[in-house]
A = this chain, B = another copy of it.
Amino acid sequence: MPATIRDVARESGVHISTVSRTFSAPHLVNAETRSRVLACAEHLGYRPNRAARALITGRTHNIGLIVADIANPFFPPLIKAAESQARQRDYHIFVTDTNEDASVEEDLVRALAKQVDGVLLCSPRMSNSLIEQLSREVPLVVVNRQLTGLPTVVMDVAQGARLAIDHLNGLGHRRIALVAGPRGSWTSREIRRSAMSAARAGDADLTVIGPNQPTEDGGMAVAEQIVRAGVTAVLAYNDLMAIGLIEGLTAQGQRVPEDVSVVGIDDIALSRLTRPKLTTVATPTAAAGRAAVDMLLAHGDDRRTTAQITLQTELVIRDSTGPGPGPHSHADPGGVVATALGDVASYAKE
């Protein structure tokens, strides 16, 4: 049987409220009393019961984190960073996985709502209006989706997509495909919009293929369409799809980058390990995880500042892109860091 506040009170000869204060408002307790209480608590192995505390304060010191797919390598660095940031502030994180299914997101948020102080919604597939509705039931921070009136953390994928298209264009590619992400993904829409306009500006054709599952298989599945489309370069929604696509293209007898150049997005750890090494747009996922936790916890202090932060992305040129058939402009934006909005200094990539 674990020790309660009453055991500590008895042993240290004070009232339970003094014990309570020792833990929740130490400055209100005489230093001497405090150390005696602390000693007894230590000795009894006492730990405040968070459920009891939550019942009365209304704060659970728990955070919910909902991701589309834990096993998608994009998420673990985000989860890890969020967990670490939360723990540092004495919060614990419930991690849940929606299996890329928009319809379970709502249930998950509601199921979590009662036992957390807020929910980090990462890459939600549900509608904006539903998100807004849920935000009235539990504090929400939305990651990977822009939404007015709510605190959000997004990567500047528009800038990233532009850098990628410009890079391909600079290499002489004029017929480019965009392999889109899943339905309901804000990021995918954003990439599409930005890639379109960048392609137009560069006098290139952009063929959009999708929506698709944002997985390796999803990428592999479109290889044939890519070949049929007759493009010489591809921008994929994420690295996993890019890698699957390269796999698929290879199976179709296409060489990357000699026949087709491929660019991914995210710069997951994996992208440095495949052959050819993937050219990709790096997104600061760990920073996003930390920022999201900070925003959620700051939220309580001042309800009116619903900050929206945009984290910068950058193009990482590796081996999956090469010269295309068109004229090369050597204004190659390789390695150039995208401009970003908002206060990102403290969330620099590790």
Contacts and interface: CB of A to CB of B under 8 A. Distances in A.
A319 to B, nearest CB: 12
Interface string A56-86: 0000101000000111010111011001100
Interface stretch (A111-119, A159-167, A258-266, A325-333): A111-119
B47 A110 contact: yes
A110 B77 CA distance: 25
Given A94-B92, A243-B273, A274-B274, A47 B79 contact: no
**Stoichiometry, copies per complex:** 2
A83 B70 contact: yes
Interface residues of A, number: 46
A111 to B, nearest CB: 8
A51 interface: yes
A52 interface: yes
B273 A216 contact: yes
A209 B269 CA distance: 25
A6 interface: no
Given A54-B51, A110-B47, A79 B70 contact: yes
A97 B71 contact: no
A83 B54 contact: no
Contacts of A49: 55, 114
Contacts of A87: 96
B96 A92 contact: yes
Contacts of A273: 216, 243, 247, 270, 273-274
A93 B92 contact: no
A51 B115 contact: yes
Give the one of A2, A52, A92, A111 with max B CB within 10 A: A92
A50 B114 contact: yes
A275 interface: yes
A95 interface: yes
A60 B94 CA distance: 13
Contacts of A45: 137
Contacts of A111: 47, 92
A82 to B, nearest CB: 10
Contact of A114 (B47, B55, B60, B112): B47
Q: Which residue among A71, A84, A275 has the maximum number of chain B CB atoms within 10 Å of its CB?
A: A71
A75 B95 CA distance: 13
Contact of A84 (B84, B97, B113): B97
The 10 closest A-B pairs by CB, nearest first: A275-B275, A70-B80, A51-B51, A51-B54, A95-B95, A71-B76, A92-B94, A50-B115, A71-B80, A70-B76
Given A50-B114, A51-B60, 7 more contacts: A45-B137, A51-B114, A55-B55, A70-B83, A93-B94, A95-B95, A274-B275
